[in-house]
Amino acid sequence: KKDAGSASGGKPEAAGANIKKEASSKDLSAASAVKKEPKRVPDHLKADDAETQKRIAKRLEKQRLPQRTVAQRKVRLFNHLHQYEREVSLTGSFSFSSGGIHPVIIKLGLQYAEGVICGSNARCLAMLAAFKQVIQDYTTPPQKELSRDLEATIKPYISFLNQCRLMSVSMGNAVKHLKHHITHMPNNLKDHEAKKKLLETIDSYIKERILLSAVAISKYVQDEAKIKDGDVILVYSCSSIVRKVLCDAWNQGKKFKVIVVDARPKMEGKEMLRRLVRAGIPCSYFMINAASYAMQEATKVMLGAHALLANGCVMSRVGTSQIALIAKACNVPVLVCCETYKFCERGQTDSFVYNELGDPDDLVFIGNKTPYLNDWRDYNSLTLLNLVYDVTPPEFISLVITELGLIPCTSVPVVLRMKQAETNET
Amino acid sequence: MASKSRGKQRGEDIQQEDVFQAVVIADSFNVRFAPITNEKPKSLLPLANIPILDYTLEFLVTAGVQEIFVFCCHLADQIRTHIRQSKWSECSSCTITPVLSESCMSMGDALREIHDKSVIRSDFVLVFGDTVANLRLQDVLQEHKKRLQDKTNPQNKNSVMTMIFQKVPPGHRSRNKEDDIFLAVDQTSNRVLHYQRVREQSKLQIPVDVLADNLDVQLRYDLLDSQISVCSPEVLALFKDNFDYLNRDHFVKGLLDNEDIMEKTIHMCVLNDGYTGRVSNLQMYDTVSRDVICRWSYPLVPDTQTDNQGQIISHNRHNIYTSKDVMLAKGCVLEQNVLVGRGTRIGSNTRITDSVIGKDCKIGSDVVIENAYIWDGVTIEDQCCVDTAVICDNVVVYACTSVGPGCVLSYNVKVGPSVKIEARSRLQAAKDMDDDFGDELTEADQDAVSMINYGSKSQAFLHQPPEDSDDEDNDLVQDMFGLGIQSESSTEASSLSERSSDDEAMLDDEELFYSELLDTFVKAKEDNYNTENLILEINSLKHTYNIAIRDLYGMVMKGLIEIPLRDSQDLEPGAQLANVKKNFVRYKPLILNYIKSEESQLDCLHALEDFALSNKTVSTLLVKLLHILYDADILSEVVLIKWHNMEKEEEYKAIAKQVAPLIKWLEEAEEETSDEELGSD
């Protein structure tokens, strides 16, 4: 563990990417300045554009939602992304009388903001549970239609959640699904019937898309013998689906070892390690700077994903692409476990165009040692960048395991198209 | 004036800081490691192929100690020679002086001896010779000194000892069950207020004044006592004055109990980083060895330490340490956490994991070694299996022998071939001689010992631990070596079982009381006691076992039902019932003496309920029993109805259903009577 792993492997790549990024962001800013094709760049990527900001602010005001203070110190390259200061209270401006936002949503938003609920699946499940509560408590006002009014009610909730923390792709897809069902709700249905139908929709979404998908993925891993006796499987950070797959394989009697690789600032690998050890799996634990040392004995790398993009890239917790790169260099196959509800039509070639910026202060704390970045705000030339996700290019990924089977990651558009057809049919 | 005194003080400081001294007690004054320690003192036993004492000395020297007194008594010569030959004999920064005394029986004696020699001039560190640690003692020493300089607070100034702890959560493998402690500390000053060994008790008592006299008390059960302490020279004097102090526990307890009289205080400090472990028994030997192999005790790890023969060890992936000249045959697997010493040969297809193997060993092919500690010059022939064992120097294990978990094979033992050595047996090469205690083994014992067969070429005798353990320390916690194979799940399971055993301990009193109560009833029947005497007896029993009055009601009732049922077990239910009824009639005065109020009736009903759940006969008879009790005017209808209407847990629901007809009947009867009353009006 003490070996300072050669992290340099990733560096030239990153530098190269940097230049590319600069270029792309220049293109971006140029595009927004000239406004040739304003619709091509969505609002959430134009945090550096004053006019868009004004529009967003106005909309928030209309929805009676609090505005977050924009971070003062941002890395210049990332001006187009939203970044907020850590606030004492997000809900300080709410009054009891306003009654705008359902308390379940407020609670959920705070849990997102504080990082109590994190992880793509967990966030999506929590959101769906909250919306179930909202629908249960909803009554259509007289002279209004449920399909219209409920959608209007939910809209500010979603932008509130988005303010607390940027929505994940999984949440976006779930919301899209829910909205689709709300707007297509027949008008002749009675209130309670419509509500019942919506609740059923949510339940079946949770069951089919999230829970059963995990079971199916785990089964595919089993059936295709992707985990064999004597395997050493390297995992990175914490992923509910990878954990499930590993635990199921272990319970099936497969004898393998797991290497958990972890990184600051969130140290989510600790939780992963704890759960795997509790299941009885022999584990070892490395920090990401020793990943290349650990990789030498790994036979497979198994990763979770935040989203699978249309161009085949995998968006996941920052550090994942480095792991995949090292695995590629060591000729270790990289398997990504991902439910199809995390597939996304967006295409993205790097982690800079679109990403989430975490709180830079998270980087200050460095475990037991005395932090030396405490006063970083005093130095004008110093800015901290805390990216939450990164994008792994498809050539590093051997296989994606989904509930539809084992597919190459370039098949994402096919899956998306089939889904599209499916929804249109129903 | 002030500056002068300060200057003077500083002068003193410098003088005091001149020499940083340490006292190492290189003897544990117990026989945990018998029979190994009969030939070699414990502190010279190899831990990861290096004598334990070397770890302690290395730790002290690295921590900046300049003068070390090693106190040895059992086999002191060996320790003295070892120190003379060690690399510290020419060490310039530190002098190590062995202090020999064969007569000492306890740590207290040792410290008194050292006091008599008057070699300790300033604050010193007191450690045992079996400590593996990498703590920063200098900081603790400074803290201790600063406390002594503190003029404003007399409690600080009178501090004589700073005990060093580490935060280790309960259930962690490095927590030694014997040294489990419970501590009350003043949070602001770190003064120790109460110190107690837990010894698997479920209840702990803290003196009231600990909580009453101090504002900010912290109770801690998450600490590991490193048994390392920084002491003022007065500690020695205090040991001298109080010749009944045998060990540090006595000292701490004595000081804390007589704080007002002695006006001495003890402080503590918790170190967050670093490692400390004491090899106090075989279980801890196992734990500390693993920790050393897993590098928690860095820099005290096998590949950084070289003994005087210049042994060089390389560290590989999965904590495999091998010397250069180790011969590994084709197909032999060293899985993880393995240390192999110089000149050892390992045969083909042998599998070794979590083990330490000493110098010049010969290990055959197809051998499985797990979690074993094999010392120097050991021969293990083909197809043996060694699991969780300590095998000392020059042992021979002949072919096809399996050594069970928890075994200790002492020097020169030979076992096999083709035998299975039972778990937890301790073997030695020679028979037990009459020991000093003079209790000769009886002939029958001898025969029994020699009866066990350890194979045709064997030279082994079972070691019998002396029956009369020296003090209460020994028998309380037997070491668990070989029992707990430490995996996360098993520790969890064991902690669970511990918890349940705690519950048992709590129940114990009640159970004892109940069985005593039954005996009393039986005796009363035989001897025809009169009711008053019986009541007296029961009351006195209640006080002895400290039973709550409410529990008593239930138990009396239960007893009265159980006795006749037990007597008439084989009879028809009807006859049983008649028996019970007879008993009720007989003891009615007794019942009425206890069960008078509504509350007591309710308690009694609850007890019956529980009883019915655990006993099938009772549950079938319950309705009738209740009827009898009602007829006998022991239970009133009001209470019965109230009881029936109370909120019930799931398991009691069946009973409620069962008694429903009776309750209904009662309710109807009540209505009738009230109707009648109305009618009569």
Specify whether the backbone of B295 is left (phi greater than 0), alpha (psi in -120 to 50) or beta: left
Interchain contact, A277 vs B272, CB within 8 Å: no
Q: Tokens 């697997």, residue? A: B333
Q: Does A279 touch chain B (CB under 8 A)?
A: no
Range B243-252 average pLDDT: 87
Q: Which residue of B has its CA nearest to A277?
A: B488
pLDDT digits (tens, 9 = 90+) for A53-93: 888 888 887 777 777 777 777 788 888 888 877 766 666 66
Domains of chain B: 16-282 (3.90.550.10), 310-482 (2.160.10.10), 504-680 (1.25.40.180)
Tell the residue number behind the tokens 């400081």, with chain if given: B13
- Which of the 8 DSSP states describes residue B372? -
CB distance A98 to A64 below 8 Å: yes
The answer to whether B489 contacts A297, with C-beta atoms less than 8 Å apart, is no
Distance of CA A196 to the CA centre of its chain: 30
Residue A101 scores a pLDDT above 90: no
For residue B680, pLDDT over 60 is answered with: no
d(CA A234, CA A334): 9
Q: Of the ranges A380-389, A413-422, B252-261, which one carries the lowest mean pLDDT score?
A: B252-261
User: Contact at 8 Å (CB) between B65 and B98?
Assistant: no
E strand residue ranges, B129-251: 131-133, 159-167, 181-186, 192-197, 217-220, 223-231
Q: Which of A229, A107, A225 has the alpha carbon at shortest distance from A164? A: A107
DSSP for residue A330: T
Most confident of the following: B241-255, B284-298, B303-317, B415-429: B284-298
Percentage of the residues of chain B whose pLDDT score is greater than 90 = 19
User: What per-residue confidence (pLDDT) applies to A245?
Assistant: 95
Of all residues in chain A, the one with the smallest CA distance to B492 is A278
Where does the pLDDT of residue B507 fall: very low under 50, low under 70, confident under 90, or very high at 90 and above?
A: low
Encoded amino acid at A144, one letter: K
Task: Work out the minimum CA distance from B319 to partner chain A, whole angstroms.
Answer: 10
CB A396 within 8 A of CB A334: yes
Instruction: Say if B319 is an interface residue toward chain A (CB within 8 Å).
Output: no
Q: What is the four-CA torsion angle of A323, A328, A332, A336, rounded to 10 degrees?
A: 60
Contact list in B for residue A280 (CB cut-off 8 A) is: 487-489
Ranking A162-171, B78-87, B445-454 by mean pLDDT, the lowest is B445-454
- pLDDT-based confidence at A178, cuts 50/70/90? very high
Q: Which of A280, A297, A368 sits opposite B489 (nearest CB)?
A: A280
Which phi and psi (to 5°) does residue A378 adopt?
A: -75, -15
Using a CB-CB cut-off of 8 Å, the residues of chain B touching A277 are 488
**Nearest residue of chain B to residue A2 (CA atoms):** B295
Torsion-angle region of B482 (φ positive above 0: left; ψ -120 to 50: alpha; else: beta): left
Query: At which residue do the structure tokens 């990024």 appear?
Result: A21
pLDDT digits 0-9 by tens, B192-244: 989 988 877 778 888 888 888 888 899 998 898 888 999 998 899 888 888 88
Would you call B488 an interface residue with chain A, using a CB distance cutoff of 8 Å?
yes
Is the model's pTM score more than 0.90? no
Distance from CA of A302 to the nearest CA of B (A): 21
Contact between chains at A297 and B317 (C-beta distance less than 8 A) = yes
Give the DSSP letter string of B644-659.
HHS---GGGHHHHHHH
Which residue in B272, B317, B488 is closest to A278 by CB distance? B488
Closest residue by Cα to residue B122 from B137, B150, B140, B141 = B141
CA angle A378, A382, A385 (to 5 degrees): 120
Length of chain A: 426
Query: Contacts from B622-627 at CB under 8 Å and sequence distance 24+?
Result: B622/B655, B622/B658, B622/B659, B623/B658, B623/B659, B623/B661, B623/B662, B624/B577, B625/B561, B625/B577, B625/B580, B626/B659, B626/B662, B627/B662
Q: How does pLDDT run across A301-340, given as a tens digit for each residue?
A: 999 999 999 999 999 999 999 999 999 999 999 999 999 9
CA distance B460 to B38: 15
Residues 6 or more apart in contact with residue A424 via CB below 8 angstroms = none
Confidence of residue B308 (pLDDT cuts 50, 70, 90): low
User: Which residues in chain A (157-196) have CB-CB distances under 8 A to chain B?
Assistant: none
Q: What is the rounded distance in angstroms from the CA atom of residue A77 to the CA atom of residue A25?
A: 7
Contact B513, B537 (CB under 8 A): no
Q: Which has more pLDDT, B432 or B96? A: B96
Q: Looking at the partner chain, which of A277, A297, A368 has a beta carbon nearest the beta carbon of B488?
A: A277
Handedness of CA A218, A224, A226, A229 (dihedral sign): positive
Please report the pLDDT score of residue A231 as a whole number: 94
- On whether any CB of chain B is under 8 Å from the CB of A277, the answer is yes
When computed from its CA atoms, the radius of gyration of chain A, rounded to whole angstroms, is 22
Taking the Cβ of residue A274 and every Cβ of chain B, the question of whether any pair is shorter than 8 Å is answered with no
CA distance B331 to B316: 18
No. of H helices and E strands in chain A? Answer: 13, 11
Please give the residue of chain B at the shortest CA–CA distance from A294.
B317
Rounded Cα–Cα distance for residues B56 and B542 (Å): 54
Contacts of A259 in chain B (CB under 8 A): none
Q: Is A369 an 8 Å CB contact of chain B?
A: no
Kindly state whether B272 is in contact with chain A, defined as any CB-CB distance less than 8 angstroms.
yes
Statement: residue A402 has pLDDT above 80: yes
CA distance A247 to chain B (A): 15
SS3 per residue for A204-259? HHHHHHHHHHHHHHHHHHHHCCCCCCCCEEEEECCCHHHHHHHHHHHHCCCCCEEE
DSSP string, A277-306: HHTT--EEEEEGGGHHHHHTT-SEEEE--S
Reduced 3-state DSSP string for B427-439: EECCCCCCCCCCC
Residues of B in contact with A297 (CB under 8 A): 317
- Phi, psi (5° rounding) for residue A260? -100, 120
Terminal alpha carbon distance of chain B: 104
- Model confidence at A426, in pLDDT bands (50, 70, 90)? low
Give B317's contacts in chain A (Cβ within 8 Å).
Answer: 297
Say whether residue B487 is in contact with chain A using an 8 A CB cutoff: yes
Sign of the alpha-carbon dihedral angle for B531, B533, B539, B542:
negative
Cα–Cα distance for residue pair A310/A319, rounded to 1 Å: 21
CB B371 within 8 Å of CB B357:
no
* Residues in chain A closer than 8 A to B488 (CB atoms): 277-278, 280
Name the nearest CA neighbour of B97 among B66, B134, B51, B52.
B66
Distance CA A61, CA A49 (A): 18
Residues A360 and A322: beta-carbon distance below 8 Å: no
**Residue B498: which pLDDT band, with cuts at 50, 70 and 90?**
very low
Q: Sheet containing A389-392: give its strands across.
A: A343-344, A307-309, A314-317, A389-392
Q: Give the 3-state secondary structure of residue B100.
A: strand
Residue A23 is predicted with a pLDDT of: 45
CA distance from start to end of chain A: 54
B488 and A280: CB-CB below 8 Å? yes
| Residues in chain B, total | 681
Q: For A162, phi and psi rounded to 5 degrees?
A: -65, -35
Report chain B's mean pLDDT, rounded to a whole number.
79
- At residue B86, the 3 state secondary structure works out as coil
Are B602 and B642 in contact by the 8 Å Cβ rule? The answer is yes
Q: Kindly tell me if the per-residue pLDDT of B1 is higher than 80.
A: no
How far is CA A248 from each of CA A119, A272, B308, B425, rounded to the nearest angstrom? 20, 15, 52, 40
Nearest to A217 by CA among A299, A294, A278, A308: A308
For residue B143, pLDDT over 80 is answered with yes
Q: Give the gyration radius of chain B's Cα atoms.
A: 34
Contacts of B487 in chain A (CB under 8 A): 280
CB-based contact A368 B273, cutoff 8 Å: yes
B433: closest CA among B445, B443, B441, B444?
B441
Partner-chain contact A368 B272, CB within 8 Å: yes
The 10 Å Cβ neighbour count of residue B384 is 25
Residue of B nearest to A3 (CA): B317
Confidence at residue A319, expressed as pLDDT on a 0 to 100 scale: 94
Q: Which chain A residues are within 8 Å of B489, Cβ to Cβ?
A: 278, 280
Tokens read off for B507: 């129940």
Question: Is the CB of residue B489 less than 8 Å away from at least one CB of chain A?
Answer: yes
Asked whether A201 and A128 are in contact (CB, 8 A), the reply is no
A280/B487 Cβ within 8 A: yes
Strand-pair category, B21-25 with B67-72: parallel
Q: For the segment B393-406, what is each residue's pLDDT rounded down to a tens digit?
A: 999 999 999 998 88
Which residues, in sequence order, are CB contacts of A224 under 8 Å at separation 6+? A406
| C-beta separation of B28 from B44 below 8 A | no
Ramachandran category for residue B199: left, alpha or beta (phi over 0 → left; psi -120 to 50 → alpha)? left
Q: What is the Cα–Cα distance from B433 to B438, expressed in whole angstroms? A: 10
Q: Which residue of A has its CA nearest to B486?
A: A280
Task: Note the pLDDT of residue B672.
Answer: 60
